[in-house]
Amino acid sequence: MTMIFESFLHSTTSNGSVGIPALISTGIFLLVFLSISLHILHETAAALLGAAAVFLVNYIGGHYFPALKLLSFDEAMAIVDWNVIFLIMGMMIFMAILAETNIFKWVAYRLYVAAKGNAWFIASALILLTGITSAFLNDVTAILMLVPGVFQFGGEL
């Protein structure tokens, strides 16, 4: 999705007006966003179709109509931050393994028992647990660890 935003920035004309590639990439982005928001397509499928559409417009459309050229392949690959992608992929694998152990259900159950149904206690404990987890892990990992537990509370309460 970053490539779409970058293509929007690179496709303005010399006088600052928005070019055709910027409008096309914005349209593709909006279609992907709407298909995810309205649950028309799965998030992964929508993102892959959006990326494929950008590449089709860029390479096939740009070959026949040079005005549609968004970015070269090397420019597009330079925009991608592979460190972030692999970090998030590693966190997702870590969270999938943790979910298999049912640790989230166990923590949710122990906290629910300790709270004795008191919503203020549960909210305070979740805030405290989030702060402690964020002190040791990065924010995305902390959120990925705590959200399943919060959903467990929704089923229990």
- Strand, coil or helix: 12: strand
More confident: 86 or 69: 86
d(CA 54, CA 60): 10
- Residue 117 tokens read as 């149904």
- Residue 108 tokens read as 């949710």
List, for residues 44-62, the tens digit of each pLDDT value. 899 999 989 988 888 888 8
pTM for the predicted model, two decimal places: 0.50
The full length of the chain comes to: 157
